[in-house]
Amino acid sequence: MYRIQAGRLQVLLAHPGGPFFRNRDEGAWTIPKGEVEAGEDLLEVAKREFFEETGVAPTVPFIALTPIKQKGGKVVHAWAFHGDCDPAEIVSNTFTMEWPPKSGKQVEFPEIDRADFFDVAAAKGKINTAQIALVEECEQIAMGKQSSGT
Protein backbone atom coordinates (compact mmCIF):
# COMPACT_ATOMS: atom_id res chain seq x y z
CA MET A 1 0.00 0.00 0.00
CA TYR A 2 1.28 3.44 -0.83
CA ARG A 3 -0.02 6.96 -0.42
CA ILE A 4 1.12 10.41 -1.44
CA GLN A 5 1.46 12.95 1.39
CA ALA A 6 2.58 16.52 0.64
CA GLY A 7 3.79 15.36 -2.78
CA ARG A 8 5.95 12.57 -1.34
CA LEU A 9 5.47 8.83 -1.61
CA GLN A 10 4.96 6.86 1.59
CA VAL A 11 4.82 3.06 1.71
CA LEU A 12 3.22 0.89 4.36
CA LEU A 13 5.71 -1.47 5.97
CA ALA A 14 5.07 -4.17 8.56
CA HIS A 15 7.26 -5.24 11.45
CA PRO A 16 7.27 -9.03 11.99
CA GLY A 17 5.90 -10.22 15.29
CA GLY A 18 7.38 -12.84 17.56
CA PRO A 19 10.45 -13.06 19.74
CA PHE A 20 13.08 -13.17 16.97
CA PHE A 21 12.21 -9.67 15.71
CA ARG A 22 11.26 -8.06 19.04
CA ASN A 23 14.47 -6.02 19.31
CA ARG A 24 15.23 -5.62 15.60
CA ASP A 25 14.33 -2.52 13.62
CA GLU A 26 16.65 -1.48 10.77
CA GLY A 27 16.40 -4.03 7.97
CA ALA A 28 13.70 -6.05 9.75
CA TRP A 29 10.56 -4.45 8.31
CA THR A 30 8.84 -5.94 5.27
CA ILE A 31 5.94 -5.56 2.92
CA PRO A 32 2.97 -7.63 4.13
CA LYS A 33 3.37 -11.00 2.40
CA GLY A 34 2.87 -14.72 2.82
CA GLU A 35 3.27 -18.21 1.47
CA VAL A 36 1.79 -19.49 -1.79
CA GLU A 37 0.39 -23.01 -2.09
CA ALA A 38 0.73 -24.93 -5.34
CA GLY A 39 -1.85 -23.85 -7.92
CA GLU A 40 -2.82 -20.60 -6.16
CA ASP A 41 -3.11 -17.36 -8.11
CA LEU A 42 -0.28 -15.07 -6.97
CA LEU A 43 -2.35 -11.86 -6.93
CA GLU A 44 -5.16 -13.54 -5.00
CA VAL A 45 -2.64 -14.80 -2.43
CA ALA A 46 -1.13 -11.31 -2.14
CA LYS A 47 -4.56 -9.76 -1.49
CA ARG A 48 -5.46 -12.46 1.06
CA GLU A 49 -2.15 -12.19 2.90
CA PHE A 50 -2.29 -8.39 3.01
CA PHE A 51 -5.76 -8.56 4.57
CA GLU A 52 -4.78 -11.31 7.04
CA GLU A 53 -1.71 -9.42 8.22
CA THR A 54 -3.26 -5.94 8.42
CA GLY A 55 -7.04 -6.27 8.57
CA VAL A 56 -7.18 -3.82 5.63
CA ALA A 57 -8.73 -4.90 2.32
CA PRO A 58 -6.49 -3.92 -0.61
CA THR A 59 -8.19 -2.04 -3.46
CA VAL A 60 -7.83 -1.93 -7.24
CA PRO A 61 -6.00 -1.12 -9.36
CA PHE A 62 -3.09 -3.41 -8.52
CA ILE A 63 0.28 -2.59 -10.07
CA ALA A 64 2.50 -5.62 -10.63
CA LEU A 65 6.06 -5.06 -9.45
CA THR A 66 9.12 -6.98 -10.63
CA PRO A 67 9.63 -10.09 -8.45
CA ILE A 68 12.69 -10.06 -6.20
CA LYS A 69 14.72 -12.85 -4.59
CA GLN A 70 15.58 -12.58 -0.90
CA LYS A 71 18.86 -13.76 0.61
CA GLY A 72 17.38 -17.11 1.67
CA GLY A 73 16.23 -17.77 -1.90
CA LYS A 74 12.54 -16.91 -1.41
CA VAL A 75 11.06 -15.18 -4.46
CA VAL A 76 8.65 -12.38 -3.55
CA HIS A 77 5.92 -11.39 -6.02
CA ALA A 78 4.38 -8.05 -5.09
CA TRP A 79 1.73 -5.61 -6.23
CA ALA A 80 1.40 -1.97 -5.27
CA PHE A 81 -1.90 -0.23 -4.71
CA HIS A 82 -2.88 3.27 -3.64
CA GLY A 83 -4.64 3.44 -0.28
CA ASP A 84 -4.60 4.78 3.21
CA CYS A 85 -5.23 3.51 6.71
CA ASP A 86 -4.40 4.27 10.31
CA PRO A 87 -1.42 2.01 11.09
CA ALA A 88 -2.38 2.04 14.78
CA GLU A 89 -5.63 0.27 13.82
CA ILE A 90 -3.95 -2.67 12.06
CA VAL A 91 -4.94 -6.10 13.37
CA SER A 92 -2.84 -9.10 12.34
CA ASN A 93 -3.47 -12.81 12.30
CA THR A 94 -1.33 -14.90 14.65
CA PHE A 95 1.00 -17.89 14.65
CA THR A 96 1.94 -20.32 17.39
CA MET A 97 5.46 -21.49 18.23
CA GLU A 98 7.34 -23.10 21.07
CA TRP A 99 8.71 -20.33 23.28
CA PRO A 100 11.09 -20.27 24.97
CA PRO A 101 12.92 -22.89 22.89
CA LYS A 102 12.79 -26.45 24.26
CA SER A 103 10.30 -25.35 26.95
CA GLY A 104 7.40 -27.34 25.52
CA LYS A 105 5.26 -24.22 25.94
CA GLN A 106 3.29 -23.04 22.89
CA VAL A 107 2.88 -19.25 22.66
CA GLU A 108 0.79 -17.26 20.18
CA PHE A 109 2.28 -14.17 18.49
CA PRO A 110 0.92 -11.73 15.88
CA GLU A 111 2.48 -12.15 12.43
CA ILE A 112 2.78 -8.36 12.34
CA ASP A 113 3.26 -6.55 15.65
CA ARG A 114 3.10 -3.05 14.15
CA ALA A 115 3.00 -1.22 10.84
CA ASP A 116 3.64 2.32 9.68
CA PHE A 117 3.99 4.51 6.62
CA PHE A 118 7.52 5.58 5.73
CA ASP A 119 8.83 7.93 3.07
CA VAL A 120 11.17 6.30 0.56
CA ALA A 121 14.43 7.22 2.31
CA ALA A 122 13.23 5.94 5.70
CA ALA A 123 11.68 2.82 4.12
CA LYS A 124 15.01 1.90 2.54
CA GLY A 125 16.59 1.87 6.01
CA LYS A 126 13.78 -0.10 7.63
CA ILE A 127 12.96 -2.73 5.00
CA ASN A 128 14.64 -6.08 4.35
CA THR A 129 17.41 -5.02 1.93
CA ALA A 130 16.25 -7.39 -0.82
CA GLN A 131 12.90 -5.58 -0.86
CA ILE A 132 14.38 -2.10 -1.46
CA ALA A 133 13.91 -2.67 -5.20
CA LEU A 134 10.14 -2.99 -4.62
CA VAL A 135 10.05 0.40 -2.87
CA GLU A 136 12.11 2.00 -5.65
CA GLU A 137 9.91 0.56 -8.40
CA CYS A 138 6.76 1.65 -6.56
CA GLU A 139 8.20 5.15 -6.29
CA GLN A 140 8.94 5.32 -10.03
CA ILE A 141 5.45 4.14 -10.93
CA ALA A 142 3.48 6.13 -8.34
CA MET A 143 5.36 9.39 -8.76
CA GLY A 144 5.24 8.99 -12.55
CA LYS A 145 1.45 8.70 -12.37
CA GLN A 146 1.24 11.76 -10.14
CA SER A 147 3.35 13.92 -12.48
CA SER A 148 1.34 12.78 -15.51
CA GLY A 149 -1.93 13.53 -13.72
CA THR A 150 -3.29 9.98 -13.93
pLDDT tens per residue, range 54-90: 999 999 999 999 999 999 999 999 999 999 999 999 9
CATH number (domain holding residue 110): 3.90.79.10
Q: Name the percent of the chain lying above pLDDT 70.
A: 96
- Distance between CA atoms of 137 and 68, rounded to whole angstroms? 11
Q: Please name which of 10, 20, 18, 6 lies closest in space to residue 124, comparing C-alpha atoms.
A: 10
What pLDDT, on the 0 to 100 scale, is given for residue 144?
85
Mean pLDDT of 112-130: 97
Residue 99 above 90 pLDDT?
A: yes
- Dist CA 23 CA 27 (whole Å): 12
Q: Give the span between the Cα atoms of 25 and 74, in whole angstroms.
A: 21
**Mean residue pLDDT across the chain:** 95
- The whole-angstrom separation of Cα 47 and Cα 147 is 27
> How confident is the model at residue 146, as a pLDDT?
64
Question: Above 80 in pLDDT, residue 23?
Answer: yes
- pLDDT band for 126, please (50, 70, 90 cuts): very high
Residue among 97, 2, 10 nearest 50 (CA): 2
Domains of the chain: total: 1
C-alpha–C-alpha distance, residues 147 and 150, integer Å: 8
- Residue 149 confidence (pLDDT) above 60: no
Q: What distance in Å separates the CA atoms of residue 28 and residue 128, rounded to the nearest whole number?
A: 5
Pairwise CA distance, residues 24 & 18, whole Å: 11
Does 145 have pLDDT greater than 80?
A: no
The reported pTM is 0.93
Q: How far apart are CA 122 and CA 110, in angstroms?
A: 24
Question: Domain of 12?
Answer: 2-148
